[in-house]
Amino acid sequence: MFKHLDGVRLVYFVEAQGLPQKVVKIGYTEGFQLRFSSLVNQNAGRLCVLGVQPNADAERLEKELHERFAAHRDHSEWFRLVKEILAYIDAHALAPEKVPRASLPPSATDVDKILAEANLPPLMTVAQLAKFWKVSPVTIRRYVKRHQIPFVRVGGQLRFDTLEFTYAGYKHSNTDHTAKPFSGSIEDLEWSLDDDVQGEPPSLLTVHDVATMTGVSVPTVRRHVRAKRLPAIRVGSQLRFDVRDVLNSPLSAH
């Protein structure tokens, strides 16, 4: 139905119908046919494409629209379908059939091949996405909490559309993932440790991460280590800390 849109960078507007509150998903992709099929599988209600907006920098445009309509956000990338958003769609979006056809190798639209090559299921867990991006589960959850990446909930658990994070184009570059000291708090860390990461190797924090998270100085962290009040792991010559040990230490009370 939307095969001709494969290879076109665009922002899409998809309404979920039959719900008490009218909502629209504002997202971007280069493979709209697969993206729409994935959305249909994730949502019980009927979906309607209100329009698409081709743009060479669709990723940037999506971010701008999310910021512009932030006051109407329902959850994740879904927004309440208010007059302001409808007016924007009417003024800037096209019906899918009016978008010029793009040239793309047929194999790129084969969903089974895409998933097989990535060795991933249709929906990834926190741990799988963390492994795929080579970051910690804590980092993934921080992105979710800040609405920096799209997600769905399946039985209360976070899941991530594999196509959106592989072929459909949601790259790790969408997020601010430059290596830097942990800037969260004890509450942020507790929020990140739920059933999705039970049994997974926990993230290791640096001395500076622990100091920032607990609101104490680096020397104080080191004193707790010397006094054996905070278990530490040596990685080469550097100290590293299991996040659960930090939560269970006297430092978490600071």
| 186-253 matches 110-174 in CATH topology | yes
- State yes or no: pLDDT of 16 exceeds 60: yes
CA distance 243 to 226: 18
Give the residue-averaged pLDDT of 19-43.
86
Q: Tell me the CATH class for 110-174.
A: mainly alpha
Query: What does the pLDDT look like over 100-140, one tens digit per residue?
Result: 665 443 333 455 555 555 566 677 888 888 887 777 888 78
pLDDT of amino acid 205 = 77
At residue 12 the predicted structure's pLDDT band, cuts being 50, 70 and 90, is: very high
Helices (H), 43-93: 58-68, 83-92
Give the residue-averaged pLDDT of 82-108.
75
CA distance 163 to 103: 20
The CATH code that applies to domain 186-253 is 1.10.1660.10
Domain ranges for the chain, please list them: 3-106, 110-174, 186-253
